[in-house]
Each structure stands twice: as structure tokens, then as C-alpha cells.
Amino acid sequence: MTKKKVVRALIVDDESLSRQVIREYLGSHPEIEILGECANGFDAVKEITEQNPDLVFLDIQMPKLNGFEVLALVDKNMSVIFITAFDHYALKAFDVHAIDYLLKPFSQQRFDEALERALRDISAKKHRDFHVAAAAAQPADRIQERVLVREGSQVHVLPAETIDYVEAQDDYIRIQAGGKSFLKQQRLSELEEALDHKKFVRIHRSYILNIDRMAKIELYAKDSRIVILKDGTKLNVSRSGYEKLRGLL
């Protein structure tokens, strides 16, 4: 008789009762090894990064760092079963992208169905694109009020108002905030769409500016301008970027 491969799982939920229920339901599944439990998103990022689980039971609604933000900060080939009390956008996105989820409160039968599906994916080495589903689960008009940056297993939370400017650097962006620089793997255009367009302006193909940091605009060559920030930093401004600035100032 072939022995089933052990699947390493992590439970992430800020409600202790929910974690307890999942642990009890997993009691009838000896093929699952529980690596541990996390009560918040920060611990989840650390544990996922360090332990590399095969499967994560991930709560969506958590304080400080929600389930979608956790996913955005980790890049692992793992299966995820989302857990939610109710989120209209999330449920719709999960259905569209064939992502399984558990709607609280859930029964052992419903839990087993979701787990069986996840185990099939793991066995077939099929990894669904959870990042796409997570992005689709967010309301289209939601303004991103903070930017999350991971360094190793550490997470930096940067409130949007602390950002001076963002610079494109190949496949990364460099965020200047609070006198420090943070490197994040993300497209500049993606962040541009997420930030408040009344405060953050794409002044150049390489720069997004927080207009509250601008001191003045100077002409330094024909049709060429620079923005000088309050701390003296100088950034190039394209023609289209200048028109955007004029429209806001």
C-alpha cells in the first residue's frame, strides 16, 4: 500500500476559535502536517517565507495585514484555501478564477471538499494564480492608503502620505519615504493605478511624485523641466507629466 505524501499546512486566522475548528477538522486527515498557526498577517509572511508550506488556510479579514496583503508579499508555489466571513468582491473573484474558499461558519463536509480539491492541485503540482484572484477581489475604485515592502521575512508598512516619490528601476520600484529607500518588485504603472490620483502624479515614465513634497518646477532647457522637492531632490518632468501637474495645481 502506497503511503500518502505528507502535506505541510499553515493555519492563518486572527480568531482563535476559527483556528481551533480548522485544527479539529484536520484531525481526520493524517496526511496533513500542521506546521503552526498565525494570528496575524505579519507572522504569516514570516512563517510562509521561512517554512515554505504546501498549503495555507488564509483568513481574508485580519487587522494590520489582511490575507490579500499577505499574498502580495510572498512568492511561493503553494495552494491556498481562503477563509472569509463575507466579502462580495472576494467571493465573486474566487468564483471567476476557480479559487476555493470557506465561508464562515463552515461544516466539516465543506471543509473536506475544499481540502480534497487543494490536495489534488498539490498532487498534480498545479498552482493557481492567487495573486491575480486577490487583485480582482479588491474593489476597482479602492485607493491604496499604504504600500507594503518585504525584506526577507520582515514587512515594512509605508503609509502613502509618508512617500516622497517612487522611481522605476527595471523590474523593481524604489520608494523614497521618511528619509529611507525601499526596493519592491512591482511595476510603476501598477502602483500608479493604486495610489490616490489627486495626490500622486506620474510626472515622468520613471517617477511618481507626491505633490505635497513639491517645492517648485523649473525650466532648465527648451520644453524640459524639473521638479524640486522640499528636501532639494530634483526629478525630471516629461511634457505629459507637466500637463498633469498643471491640471492639479
Task: Give the model confidence (pLDDT) of 155-199 as tens digits.
Answer: 999 999 999 999 999 889 999 998 999 999 889 998 998 899 999
If you average pLDDT over residues 102-121, what whole number do you get?
A: 93
pTM of the model: 0.79
Strand partners, 150: 155
* Superfamily name and number for 7-136: Response regulator (3.40.50.2300)
Q: How far apart are the first and last CA of the chain?
A: 73
Give me the helices (H) in 142-229, please. 188-194
pLDDT tens-digit readout, 85-96: 877 767 776 776
Q: Can you say how many angstroms the Cα of residue 181 is from the centroid of all Cα atoms in its chain?
A: 19
CATH fold for the domain made of 146-248: OB fold (Dihydrolipoamide Acetyltransferase, E2P) (2.40.50)
Q: Where are the domains of the chain?
A: 7-136, 146-248
pLDDT band at 98 (very low <50, low <70, confident <90, very high): low
The reply to whether 7-136 and 146-248 are identical in fold is no
If you average pLDDT over residues 21-43, what whole number do you get?
A: 96
- Is the C-alpha dihedral spanning 102, 106, 110, 113 positive or negative? positive
CB 121, CB 113: distance < 8 Å:
no
Q: Tell me how far apart the alpha carbons of residues 122 and 17 are, in angstroms, rounded to a whole number.
A: 27
